[in-house]
Amino acid sequence: MNAILSHPLLRALPWRSLAVPLIVFLILAMMILPLPAFVLDLLFTFNIALALIVLMVSAYTKRPLDFAAFPTVLLLTTLMRLSLNVASTRVVLTSGHTGSAAAGKVIESFGHFVIGGNFAVGLIVFAILVVINFMVVTKGAGRIAEVAARFTLDAMPGKQMAIDADMNAGLIDDKEARRRRTDIGLEADFYGAMDGASKFVRGDAVAGILILFINVIGGFAIGVLQHDLDFATAVDNYVLLTIGDGLVAQIPALVISIAAGLIVSRVGKDDNDVGSQIVTQMFATPRALMITAVILFLLGIIPGMPTIVFLLLAGACGFLAWKLVTGAERDKQEAATAAAVPAPPPSQEASWEDIVPVDVLGLEVGYRLIPLVDSGADGELLKRIRAIRKKFAQEIGFLPPSMHIRDNLELKPSQYRVLLKGVGIGEGEAFPGLWLAINPGGVTQGIPGTPTKDPAFGLPAVWIDAKQRESAQVLGYTVVDCATVVATHINHLLLTHAGQLLGRAETQALVDHFGRLQPKLMDDLVPKLIPLATLQKILGNLLEEGVHIRDMRSIVETLTDGATRSTDAADLTALVRSALRASIAQTLFGGTRDLPVIALDQDLEKVLTQSLGGPGEGAAFEPGLVELLQRGAAAAAKRQEDAGLTPTLLVPDRLRVPLARLLKRAAPRLRVLGHAEIPETSSVRVSNVLGARS
């Protein structure tokens, strides 16, 4: 036998996948084959144990999808009860004339325990159990599952948009996005399956009533007509067996229905099971317990009331309220004691340790936002910041400095501020517990809440409660939580100030990293041809104008060729931009080869060219001309954006650098390209002219 079981083919069999076919086969066998009384006792006991296991698993499940197999379990347990009913009915009708133990000890014990010598009481109790299961528990659970399935399907588009927004902002990667989308689909499938599975239990209750009448009427007829039993004996045997059989089936059915209700009515966070949630929310308010104790005490002293019972419960509620109050006061005292840390004695002499270096990147938060950045509690914002740095490195081409986080009591409780080298570059407010519904541009219907603007992109938005989240998603809003709002703003600020984040340490780390991949290329460039400071200046120039430096191979090769003719950072930057023209065009215009640009008016171009000084001299534009340029560039850029185009100004190569610097503040979204930065495979289409007379 051991040799057979150890055979490789048998060891390779998926035993878990065979569980359901085997159970279905056994269920069908119970319906067809006669079972002895001992086997019936064993199966009825197993049915009760299985129902209790399902109930306990449902009670300790933290979210419905953790028990996604519940609809299938509900079907299998229902089929098992029905097959046991068929098997026990066969035994009751064939052997019921022999006595109340004909169908086993379990059915006999349940019958004697409930009936207690009164058949009317047994029938009434059985009917009550069926009504409770059929009308109350099963019907309510089915209704909850139906409504949950409907709202889950309605909210799916908004949830998908929220996932896409998180992925585009770099807060999650592709794997996490796929997992969330899968969870959304599974959630809708689960509630839909639960809506249908509740019909199984309802049909099981109807079948139980029919089986009861069949056993009573059929058993009485068989006992009197076939086995010549007197009326009293037939009633005693068959009614007892029928009631016991019905109770053994209905009690597990009621337990399974309660488990279904627990699963579909689960609401709240994912970190608590149902029991912890109930105890935490119901018995954590001292005021409610104290009022209850007073009411019970007043009822207990009314003449005629059971005084002892009311006073005992009043005392228990009052004692629990007192314990909660004293515990809260003790926690406050401990927190105050921990906060009152004695200040260190002042140092007698100043030292170099008193100088604290300025953090390259910093984040200051108000006290209400501290839980988001609490490392001890694994704050949500900390995980988002780590994801932002990783996505920044993958897209831009270098690893930004770490962000140092601290609280600042001078800020508003819900305010935050992002610092770059000690200077604030962005700030906003975020409210934990609320959600920000952002209008992407096509939503016309309003939603109740606190109006505001998205701190990252300035889009109109509304802070809403969690209960309004699904309705806002259905209307078309992009709904994100508090941590996502702050993380998206930080990501936008890092991309905007990428050039200032590339310091000497980051440049050296980039050189070392690329040197390990292409050691010969990097050794030929730094420090043989150009110093590290010049390379940092060139890369910073690229980043300042939104050019990524991921393609370090092309950058290094271009600099190696160009550094033999000039070591000026501006000239080398122009060479690199020309080498990266295909990448720049793809970033600005996507995959299209037709490049819609803003061109300079010919007369204006001549004036600007004449205003340029000689080599080594800067551009000397007249103040009136500067104002005209800035105003016209802002208007042209807006026209391009309104038409759905990327605002890009095409100028002669000599004018590119001075115009890019001049127009950066007036039109920050405008990108300035030189003629040498247009790919050979692309064609230029002039959609606007800067400086043309109207």
DSSP string covering 365-422: E-GGGGGGG-TTTT-HHHHHHHHHHHHHHHHHSSPPPPEEEEE-TTS-TTEEEEEETT
Specify the fold of 502-579.
Helicase, Ruva Protein; domain 3 (1.10.8)
Tokens 């050019």 belong to: 547
Give per-residue pLDDT as tens, 75-128: 888 888 888 878 877 777 776 666 556 666 777 777 666 666 566 777 777 777
Give per-residue pLDDT as tens, 463-485: 999 889 989 988 889 999 999 99
Q: What is the pTM of this model?
A: 0.55
pLDDT at position 518 over 60: yes
Residue boundaries of the structural domains of the chain: 19-274, 283-328, 356-499, 502-579, 591-694
Instruction: Say how many C-beta atoms besides its own lie within 10 A of residue 618's C-beta.
Output: 10
Tokens of residue 506, six digits: 């980051």
3-class DSSP state of 671? strand
**591-694 is classed in which CATH architecture?**
3-Layer(aba) Sandwich (3.40)
- DSSP classification of residue 461: E
CB 286 within 8 A of CB 324: yes
Tokens 């000026």 belong to: 568
- CATH number, span 356-499: 3.40.30.60
What is d(CA 89, CA 82) in angstroms, rounded to the nearest whole number? 10
The letter for the amino acid at 614 is G
Burial of 493 (0-12, 13-18, 19+ CB in 10 A): middle
Q: Do the domains 356-499 and 591-694 sit in the same CATH topology, yes or no?
A: no
Tokens of residue 233, six digits: 């004996």
Can you list the positions of beta strands (E) in 460-576?
Answer: 460-464, 478-481
Give per-residue pLDDT as tens, 277-287: 666 677 777 88
Give per-residue pLDDT as tens, 366-404: 989 988 998 777 788 988 999 999 999 999 999 999 999
Q: Residues with Cβ < 8 Å from 238, sequence gap 6 or more?
A: 92, 96, 215, 216, 219, 220, 223
Report how far apart, in Å, the C-alpha atoms of 198 and of each of 57, 64, 114, 145, 230 are. Answer: 18, 15, 28, 9, 43
What is d(CA 199, CA 590) in angstroms, rounded to the nearest whole number? 53
What is d(CA 516, CA 513) in angstroms, rounded to the nearest whole number? 5
DSSP string covering 327-379: HHHHHHHHHHHHH-PPPPPPPSS--GGG-PPPPSEEEEE-GGGGGGG-TTTT-
The most confident of 94-108, 189-203, 600-614, by mean pLDDT = 600-614
CB 90 within 8 A of CB 33: no
Per cent of the chain over pLDDT 90 is 32
